[in-house]
Amino acid sequence: MEYLQLFKMPKPMKITGRSSSITNSFINSIIPVVVPTNEEVKEALNILGMALEKFECSYCGATATEWDHLRPLVLNKKPTGYISEIHNLVPSCGKCNQSKGNKPWHSWILSDAKLSPKTRGIADLDKRIEALQKYEKWQTPTKLDFETLAGTEKWQQHWKNWETVQETMKQAQVLASEINTIVAQSYKAL
pLDDT score recorded for residue 1: 65
Which segments within the chain are labelled E, that is strand? 66-69, 74-75, 78-79, 89-92
Four-CA torsion 63, 68, 70, 71, nearest 10 degrees: -160
Q: Are strands 74-75 and 66-69 parallel, antiparallel or unpaired?
A: unpaired
Same domain flag for 69 and 101: yes
pLDDT score recorded for residue 53: 87
pLDDT score recorded for residue 189: 77
Per-residue pLDDT of the chain (190 residues; tens, 9 = 90+): 688 888 888 888 898 888 888 998 999 999 999 999 999 999 999 999 998 888 999 999 999 999 999 999 999 889 999 999 999 999 999 999 999 998 999 999 999 999 999 999 999 999 999 999 999 999 999 999 999 999 999 999 999 999 999 999 999 999 999 999 999 998 887 7
Same domain flag for 117 and 158: no
CA-CA distance, 181 to 13, in Å (whole number)? 14
Same domain flag for 38 and 90: yes
Same domain flag for 99 and 187: no
Domain range for residue 103? Answer: 33-143
- The domain total for the chain is 2
Which candidate, 44, 138, 68, 71, places its Cα nearest to that of 60? Answer: 68
pLDDT score recorded for residue 57: 97
Annotate 89-115 with DSSP letters as a single string: EEEE-HHHHHHHTTS-HHHHTTS--TT
Same domain flag for 81 and 114: yes
Same domain flag for 39 and 129: yes
Q: Are 48 and 55 in contact (CB under 8 A)?
A: no
Same domain flag for 133 and 80: yes
- The gap from C-alpha 127 to its chain's centroid, in whole angstroms, comes to 24
pLDDT score recorded for residue 4: 84
CA angle (3, 6, 11) in 5-degree steps? 125
Tell me the whole-structure pTM to 2 decimals: 0.82
Count CA atoms closer than 13 A to 87's CA, side-chain side. 10
Same domain flag for 91 and 139: yes
Which candidate, 50, 37, 44, 36, places its Cα nearest to that of 70? Answer: 44
Same domain flag for 175 and 130: no
Same domain flag for 115 and 44: yes
Residue 62 has φ and ψ, to the nearest 5°, of -70, 170
Same domain flag for 21 and 42: no
Which candidate, 135, 132, 95, places its Cα nearest to that of 116? Answer: 95
Same domain flag for 152 and 101: no
